[in-house]
């Protein structure tokens, strides 16, 4: 009887080890954390012909810059029911003076996104830019006339997330954030815009959560 016990016990141990090693971990892995870095620079230009006609405006605004560098952002990406993909981001680091951007990729869905888009291609992309001022009023343009810029985007179907970059999105501006709003900004705004003043934005984003709309 003792001999039988010596034979059976090792087999039982091997069986338990095999059963344990074959179990699979069915725990669903969470998506990677959302990360993003944002940079923005406004460059103001007043044409030199206005230096004598409007010296106060020329001296106050020409050559001025306004910059923001941030990783404190609100981001989301949506697939709309009418086959558009919408990407939105807003900087939260500047307090009330926050800029935000709304990019619509027309007639597509997550499964058919191209890896790269020309943001100046208004036939396929619509860009809207917003800037909030200290009194909560906003400067904005829909169907923004983009001077240049590239969107790179990829979609991870497993995690339902989007990653990519916006490279040198350049748009016209007619304001200077530290000095707005002001009671009489119409003429300065006209001259700032006429001079070719620009806002240039770059963004790198990873694992932005998606949803349906």
Which domains, and CATH codes, for the chain?
Answer: 36-212 (2.40.128)
Model pLDDT for residues 161-179, shown as the tens digit of each residue: 999 999 999 999 999 999 8
Question: E strands, the chain, where?
Answer: 35-43, 65-70, 73-79, 85-91, 99-105, 116-118, 125-132, 138-141, 148-156, 161-172, 198-212
Q: How far apart are CA 31 and CA 188, in angstroms?
A: 47
- For 11, residues 6+ apart whose C-beta sits below 8 A from its C-beta are none
Instruction: For residue 176, give both structure tokens.
Output: 């200077």
Residue 16 clears pLDDT 80, i.e. is over it = no
Q: How far apart are CA 143 and CA 104, in angstroms?
A: 10
Model pLDDT for residues 50-99, shown as the tens digit of each residue: 999 999 999 999 999 999 999 999 999 999 877 899 999 999 998 999 99
Q: Which residue has the tokens 């620079």?
A: 41
pLDDT for 31 equals 84
Q: How far apart are CA 112 and CA 60, in angstroms?
A: 48
Model pLDDT for residues 131-162, shown as the tens digit of each residue: 999 988 899 887 778 999 999 999 999 999 99
* This prediction's pTM: 0.83
Backbone angles phi, psi at 66, to 5 degrees: -140, 125
Q: How far apart are CA 23 and CA 17, in angstroms?
A: 11
- For 92, residues 6+ apart whose C-beta sits below 8 A from its C-beta are 70, 72, 73, 74, 98
The H-assigned helical ranges of 62-175 are none
Is residue 15 classed as helix, strand or coil in its secondary structure? helix
Instruction: For residue 143, give both structure tokens.
Output: 């169907």
């Amino acid at each position: 009887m003792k001999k039988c016990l010596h034979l059976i016990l090792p087999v039982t141990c091997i069986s338990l080890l095999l059963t344990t090693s074959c179990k699979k971990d069915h725990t669903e892995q969470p998506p990677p954390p959302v990360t993003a870095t944002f940079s923005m620079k406004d460059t103001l230009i007043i044409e030199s012909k206005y230096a004598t006609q409007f010296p106060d405006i020329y001296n106050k605004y020409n050559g001025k810059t306004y910059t923001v560098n941030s990783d404190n952002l609100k981001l989301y990406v949506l697939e709309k029911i009418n086959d558009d993909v919408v990407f939105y981001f807003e900087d939260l680091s500047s307090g009330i003076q926050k800029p935000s951007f709304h990019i619509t990729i027309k007639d597509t869905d997550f499964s058919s996104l191209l890896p790269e888009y020309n943001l100046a291609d208004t036939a396929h992309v619509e860009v809207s830019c917003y800037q909030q001022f200290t009194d909560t009023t906003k400067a904005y343009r829909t169907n923004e006339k983009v001077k240049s810029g590239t969107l790179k985007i990829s979609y991870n179907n497993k995690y339902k997330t989007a990653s990519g970059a916006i490279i040198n999105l350049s748009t016209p501006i007619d304001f200077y954030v530290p000095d707005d709003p002001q009671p009489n900004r119409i003429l300065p705004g006209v001259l700032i815009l006429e001079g070719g003043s620009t806002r240039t934005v770059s963004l790198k984003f990873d694992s932005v959560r998606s949803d349906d709309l």
